[in-house]
Amino acid sequence: MELLDFILHIDVHLLEFIRAYGNWIYGILFLIIFVETGLVVMPFLPGDSLLFAAGALAASTGAMDPTLIIICLSIAAILGDSLNYQIGRYIGPRVFEIDNRFIKQEHLLKTHAFFEKHGGKTIIFARFLPFFRTFVPFIAGASKMDYKFFFLFNVVGGILWIASLTLLGFAFGNIPVIKDNFTHLVFGIIILSILPAVFEFIRSKRKKEG
């Protein structure tokens, strides 16, 4: 429940962190992004809404520098995916035998199918999809994808993801109607971010039935 409250009222909690920790907020945000992208057991941590809220607070309070947010969190996202890749590579094919409360085999198999279909572009696409962005680098490592190839897409996808969401928040997050309805906006971001995965699931299910 505390995690849900943090996600839904992320702007309020981030502002509290800024007041309490000052410039250490960059380190806190770095850690959240690094853990969400770097550990396959942490796909539920906020990503998109966190970036938007950080950009919005940078615009409204001036307490954070948007350029520093983008640089710092891009590094966190790239390092996170690299760690996740190495973990998947170390575990190897055994990954597809895993099925517990933290790592669901169903999620792994769906991610692997998505990865096989779209190839390297998946590394970039997955950045904008909750759960997928945590599982894809793990699957890439387990599938023995060439690391140089992976790293290229990792860097491009990480920078695009961090910069786009942060700048969107910086540009629009300070508009009164958005500030007054930030919880609803978070819901909207979550729904929009999972829609592509839902459509892909429905399409694949219809294809099987057909």
Q: What is the pLDDT of residues 41-90, one digit of tens each?
A: 766 677 788 898 899 888 888 889 999 999 999 999 999 999 999 998 88
pLDDT at site 106: 64
Nearest to 136 by CA among 195, 188, 197: 197
The dihedral through the CA atoms of 74, 80, 86, 91 has a sign that is: negative
Task: Please give the Cα distance from 59 to 170 (Å, whole number).
Answer: 5
Planar angle of CA 44, 49, 54, nearest 5 degrees: 125
**Reported pTM:** 0.79
pLDDT at site 39: 86
Q: What percent of the chain has pLDDT over 70?
A: 66
Burial 28-67 (b: 16+ CB within 10 A, else e): ebbebbbbbbbbbebbebbbbbbbbbbbbbbbbeeebebe
> How many Cβ atoms are within 10 Å of 171's Cβ, its own excluded?
13
Asked if 17 and 54 touch (Cβ cutoff 8 Å), the reply is no
- Give 120 or 23, the one with higher predicted confidence: 23
pLDDT digits (tens, 9 = 90+) for 146-168: 889 899 999 999 999 999 999 98
How is 2-68 classified by DSSP, letter by letter? HHHHHHHTHHHHHHHHHHHHGGGHHHHHHHHHHHHHH-TT-TTS--HHHHHHHHHHHHHH--S-HHH
Of the ranges 38-42, 54-58, 108-112, 195-199, the best mean pLDDT one: 54-58
pLDDT at site 45: 72
Nearest to 13 by CA among 4, 115, 109, 163: 4
Asked if 112 and 143 touch (Cβ cutoff 8 Å), the reply is yes
Least confident range from 57-61, 66-70, 141-145, 194-198: namely 194-198
Amino acid at 21: Y
pLDDT at 21 over 80: yes
